[in-house]
Amino acid sequence: MSANTRSHVPPGRRKPVQQRSQERYGRILDACAGLLDEVGPTALTTKEVAARAQVPIGTLYQFFAGKEDLLAALAGRNLDRYLQRLDDRLAQAAPVGPARFTDLAVDEFVTMKRAVPGFGQLDFGLAGATVPSGVRDERHLLDAGVDNNTAVALRLQALGGELFEASDPAALTLALRVALEAADAVLKLAFRGDPDGDPALIAECKRLVRGYLAEQLA
């Protein structure tokens, strides 16, 4: 198994190639992540992000069209890093079946939720119900053509390789999307009252998704 390493590039902007520009680009995303933990996505402003990253506001706008573009880039980076870290877990645990894949996928998400700056507010999409001003289409931050969970499902399907081979790939993508929606709801509940996530609810999330996917893959 190997992660699909195609990085997310926000619409209308190109990821920088020069080292200095890459460093600034990364600093801006790091600043955005840190501020999300402090003020949340609603109060976040591009001006504050630029100040935290110690770059002129004009530099930020060279890379990002606005707040939605900035959040989209951070969500894309989160997904790229999640898939790479999950791929590392899969390599260490090989061989794995669908059930073990599910457990590792949940474990890595929970690990990032606990430790990665900003991930509690913005994982692969906005975690809260309130849509911040300046964000018109929060359901398509990762890909303009499909919703966030479908985009994640497609990447997970590619990462799983032969584990998720099916005579009807579209039906399997739908099943993975449903599994993600269910996992997302339970994990939000797990972290609602516990910053580290309620262990019982995390375990139930794994059981729920394992059972559903086992039925679909059968």
Does a structural domain hold residue 171?
yes
Q: How far is CA 65 from CA 7, 130, 141, in A?
A: 18, 21, 13
Tokens of 81: 């890093």
* Residue 64: partners with Cβ closer than 8 Å, 6 or more residues away: 10, 13, 28, 46, 70, 73
Does a structural domain hold residue 62?
no
Number of domain units in the chain: 1
- Render each residue's pLDDT in the chain as its tens digit; 218 residues: 544 434 444 454 567 878 889 999 999 999 999 999 999 999 999 999 999 999 999 999 999 999 999 999 999 999 999 999 999 999 999 999 999 999 999 999 999 999 999 999 999 999 876 888 889 889 999 999 999 999 999 999 999 998 888 778 889 999 999 999 999 999 999 999 899 999 999 999 999 999 999 999 87
Does a structural domain hold residue 59?
no
Q: Which residues share a beta bridge with 122?
A: 126
Domain that holds residue 110: 78-217
Does a structural domain hold residue 165?
yes
Does a structural domain hold residue 17?
no
Does a structural domain hold residue 183?
yes
From CA 67, how far away is CA 7, in angstroms rounded?
A: 19
Q: Which residues share a beta bridge with 126?
A: 122
What is the CATH number for 174? 1.10.357.10
pTM for the predicted model, two decimal places: 0.91
Nearest one of 67, 41, 72, 66 to 151, comparing CA atoms: 72
What's at 85, amino acid-wise? R
